[in-house]
Homo-oligomer: A and B are copies of this chain.
Amino acid sequence: MPTLYFEDMEIGRIQNFGSYKVTKEEMLDFAGKYDPQSFHTDEEAAKKSVFGALCTSGWHTGAMTMSMLVANMKATGFASLGSPGLDNLNWKLPVFAGDVLSVQNELIEKRESKSRPNLGLVKIKQKTLNQKGETVMELTANAMVAKRPV
């Protein structure tokens, strides 16, 4: 498989990938460890909350999305060197047990690093979708990508 370097990345390229089935067991496990707010841990309390039913932690949605991203990086040979951060992140709709998530990525910017000649920086607009095609989470990620070795 060829490696996808900074030079190979085209602005405007859209990728759709991933399929992650959200289970109640995994939601409760994550919430118990990291986000034990009642609308994430207690079905009765969640029914009375603004969400209307048990929904998962936004950080869990981020983590599940990351697992699809890493699988896609490995499948496409994307020469990622990690991310310094996100420009923004919106949790737009709650994620419920039984939802099936996927990802849509669009490359919106690329530039060479001034301080590190061996890498470039890209901005990716990233949507996490549910099985109805609704966007549940949206963010703009910054990523470092290796340049093609000379």
Contact = CB atoms under 8 A, between A and B. Distances in A.
Given A33-B63, A34-B66, A50 B82 contact: yes
A59 B58 contact: no
A58 B59 CA distance: 11
Secondary structure call for the A interface: mixed
A85 interface: yes
Interface in A34-58: 34-37, 39, 50-51, 57-58
Interface stretch (A11-19, A86-94, A104-112, A121-129): A86-94
Copies of this protein chain in the complex: 2
Interface residues of A, number: 33
Given A33-B63, A62-B59, A64-B34, A39 B82 contact: yes
Nearest to A119: B50
A9 interface: no
A13 to B, nearest CB: 21
Contact of A63 (B51, B63, B91): B63
Interface string A60-104: 101110110010010000001111111111111000000000000
A29 B44 CA distance: 30
Interface of A: 30, 33-37, 39, 50-51, 57-60, 62-64, 66-67, 70, 73, 80-92
Given A30-B63, A63-B63, 5 more contacts: A35-B66, A37-B70, A37-B82, A60-B63, A84-B91
